[in-house]
Structures are given as structure tokens and as C-alpha cells.
Amino acid sequence: MERPQPFVSADTVFSVSDASALLKNVVETAFSRIRIRGELSQITRATSGHMYMTIKDSGAAISVIIWRGTPIPFKLEDGLEVIVTGRFTTYPARSNYQIIVSEIEMAGVGAILKMLEERKRKLAAEGLFDQACKKPLPHLPQRIGVVTSPTGAAFQDIQNRLRERFPVTVVLYPATVQGATAAAEVAAGIEYFNREKNVDVIIVARGGGALEDLLPFSEEIVVRAAAASEIPLISGVGHEPDWMLIDYAADVRAPTPTGAAEMVVPTKISLIQELDNLWHRLSNNFTTRLTNAQARMESIVIKNPRQLIMEQQQRLDDIARTMNIIIDGRVVTARQRIDAIQSFPNILQNKMCTWMQSVSHLGQMLNSLSYKSVLLRGYAIVRDDNNKIISRADGAHPASIEFADGIIPVQIKR
């Protein structure tokens, strides 16, 4: 930087306050807006809400102040690399300079991670990472497509591991895995295999590296191509801790390219073991079925035709006996009913005699209770002109006297 020329006379004598004010004015005028990149440390928050910290690099450190109310889009932590935007000023009371921050953003890995997180949220909202869309890997693929650099260690590792486990046909789509054209080439490789339909499964692979080197595998063009793949796709990018956005869109995520090769095919030993187990299961199942069929055959008894006819005759005889019993029972019941109907006139005559006797008895009782029986014993009934019975002599005016054999009118001279 060009050295500024002095603008005050060397002979001028300032007070401490004047010198501090002059310096403050010079600094604020010369650096009204400045952007500084560095690492945060000694972060403290005052009770007033203001934040004080230091931004530093390997050679220097500057005090930083973030006034309360200044927007901070992320959590500030010691060691976080950021870019601060603000203005320089001085603090005369301690004779130091500081920067008042108006904006703060992540730098380096921090900024990249922020960008990746925002992109991840956007693509997830579109459904590109949904588990319901994941496709299962084929059990024994015949042809495996690999999208990677033909000269990289990742392709050699995949080939070696496939030869060790279960040799299959490998189809390579060469693509650069780092740099400006890497994302487009990787996406083109995925689209090529889906268009040609010449492989059973796709592996997208790259060895480890810095976060910046792995960024092509988080580009939208690559993520969308992986999510749209109709062929099952395995992501084997970087090492175990490295997570790129293609890992979320792929059907299966492998920790390394070698791990992707191990996932896609079984070992010879495990396959032989699986075949042996299958043979034992089939053999045991066949033996069990054969034994059961033999037991069923032995349990079948073929009878003599004459014996079968005799058994049917015996059944018919049993049925005939049963029918005879039923018919005989019904005949007896019918006869009993007929006998009951034939005896009905006698029963009716007996009933009539009984009723006649009852009527005669009732007639005798009525005769015995009748007043005429009393008249036969010598009594008489005296009645007045109104044919009412006179029971007293006092004031009586008899008009007739009834005896047992008739009525005599009475005429009384008055």
C-alpha cells in the first residue's frame, strides 16, 4: 500500500484529547467502509446486548464491536472464519482502534456449509430426498455402471474390490470429478446410463478431498440427475465423514468408493454359503414332503368290492329298519286318534246324562224352596188390591187369599 503523506506540521503540539480526536477523525474518514476476513475469538456479550470480540489471522488482531440490533444470521463461535463489513474507528480511552460491524457473513468452509444447508433445504422441500422414492439394489447385477475419473484411485479401488468379491462387467463413463466442468460431466454420465439402459446399477464415485473439491457432487444438476435416475444409484463420494447432497438423493449412500463396490455385489464365499443354505432348505423341504406323501399312501386302504357292496346293503337295511320304526309309530298314533274319535258319542251321552241329572236336581231344589210347598202345608197368602202380600192385620184391606189349590177373592163390606 502507498504510504500516506503527513498533513500536520511536525512542530505542532497537541493535547492528548486533541490528538486522539484528530486520529479518530482520520481513521473514520479513511476507512468509512471496509471488509475484513479473519477468525473470531474472545466473543463476549455485554448486559447491554452489545457483542465484543476479536478478528484475527496469523499476524494480527483487531477489536470488533457488534452493536445490539445488528442482524447476525448465524451463531457466532470462537474459531469461526467470517468476513465482517463495517467502519474503522478508535477508542481514545484505551488508545486502540476497532471496527464497528454492520454486516457479518461466513467465509471459507463456513460459508460453503451455509450455502449447502440452504440448497439442501430447497431440494428437500421439492421431495428429491424422500425415502419413499428410494429403489432397492439388485441382488446379483450383471453390469455395473461407474461414473468417475478413469485415472483416479476411486475407479481402481472399485475394480479391485469387484474382482475380489464377484467379478462382473464394469462400464465406465469417464468424467472429471473436480473443477468447473465436473458437475455437468457427472450428471451427463448418470443420464447416459439411464438413456441406454445398459447397466443394472450405477456407482458415482470420487476419492476424498477438501470440501471445496467435493462441491461438484452437491451441485443441483448432479442432485437432480441422481434423484431422477430410474436405475438404482449408489453414491460413493469422499470418505465416511463427507456428506454431499448427492448422498441424500442417491438410493444408497456408501462411505467410500470401495464401500460402494462391497454393497453392490456379494463375496464369492457368501454367495456359495447362500447357495448351500438354499440347497439344504430345498432338500429338507423335499424330503419332508416325500415322507408325508408316503405316509398318506400307506394310510389308504383299498377294500374288496364284495365287502363294499355288503356294507352298502347293511346301510340300506339299517335305513329300512329305521323307516319301519318311524312308520309303525305314526300308525299307532293314528289308530289312537281314530279310537278317540269313535268313543266320542259315548262320552257325549254320558255327559248329557250327567247334565240331565244336574238339571233334575236343580228343579227339585227349586220346588223345595218354592212358597207353594209352604201353601201345601196349610198356609195361605193374603194380598191387597195391588197384589201385594199383607203380613199384618192392622190396617189391612185384603183383596184375595191364595191357597195351594187356588186363589179366592175377598170382598169386605165397608
- Structure confidence by residue, pLDDT tens digits, 35-61: 988 888 999 999 999 999 999 988 899
Q: What is the DSSP letter of 139?
A: S
Give dist(CA 123, CA 212) in Å, integer: 20
Strand order in the sheet with 400-403: 381-383, 400-403, 406-409
Give dist(CA 197, CA 182) in Å, integer: 23
Q: Is the pLDDT of residue 73 over 70?
A: no
Q: What is the pLDDT of residue 241?
A: 79
Give dist(CA 16, CA 274) in Å, integer: 89
On the question of a common fold for 16-107 and 144-265, the answer reads no
Contact 396, 369 (CB under 8 A): no
Q: What is the pLDDT of residue 143?
A: 94
Q: What is the pLDDT of residue 362?
A: 85
Q: Is the pLDDT of residue 268 over 70?
A: no
Q: Is the pLDDT of residue 198 over 90?
A: yes
Q: What is the pLDDT of residue 338?
A: 82
Contact 208, 257 (CB under 8 A): no
Judged by DSSP in three states, 46 sits in coil
- Which residues have CB under 8 Å from 174's CB, separation 6+? 148, 149, 150
Q: Is the pLDDT of residue 270 over 70?
A: no
Mean pLDDT of the chain: 83
How much of the chain, in percent, has pLDDT values that exceed 70?
90
- Structure confidence by residue, pLDDT tens digits, 138-180: 888 999 999 999 998 899 999 998 888 888 899 999 999 987 7
CATH number for 144-265 (one of 3.30.70.260, 3.40.50.2300, 3.30.420.40, 3.40.50.10700): it is 3.40.50.2300
Contact 170, 204 (CB under 8 A): no
Q: Is the pLDDT of residue 4 over 60?
A: no
Q: What is the pLDDT of residue 240?
A: 75
Q: Is the pLDDT of residue 122 over 80?
A: yes
Q: Is the pLDDT of residue 200 over 80?
A: yes
pLDDT band at 414 (very low <50, low <70, confident <90, very high): low
pLDDT band at 121 (very low <50, low <70, confident <90, very high): very high
Contact 178, 238 (CB under 8 A): no
Judge: domain 16-107, CATH 2.40.50.140: yes
Kindly list the domain boundaries of the chain, sorted by start residue.
Answer: 16-107, 144-265, 380-409
Cα distances (angstroms) measured from residue 234 to each of 46, 135, 219, 231, 341: 50, 10, 17, 10, 101
Contact 199, 145 (CB under 8 A): yes
Give the lowest-confidence range in 174-188, 242-256, 356-370.
356-370
Q: Is the pLDDT of residue 197 over 90?
A: yes
Give dist(CA 100, CA 181) in Å, integer: 41
Q: What is the pLDDT of residue 351?
A: 83
How much of the chain, in percent, has pLDDT values that exceed 90?
27
Q: What is the pLDDT of residue 173?
A: 95
Q: What is the pLDDT of residue 360?
A: 84
Q: What is the pLDDT of residue 394?
A: 78
Other beta carbons within 10 Å of 113 = 13
Which is more confident, 134 or 281? 134
Q: What is the pLDDT of residue 243?
A: 84
Contact 100, 89 (CB under 8 A): yes
**pTM exceeding 0.75:** no
Contact 41, 27 (CB under 8 A): no
Cell of 360: 233334575
- Structure confidence by residue, pLDDT tens digits, 85-101: 998 888 777 778 889 89
Stretch 184-203: mean pLDDT: 95
Other beta carbons within 10 Å of 100 = 15
Which is more confident, 15 or 383? 383
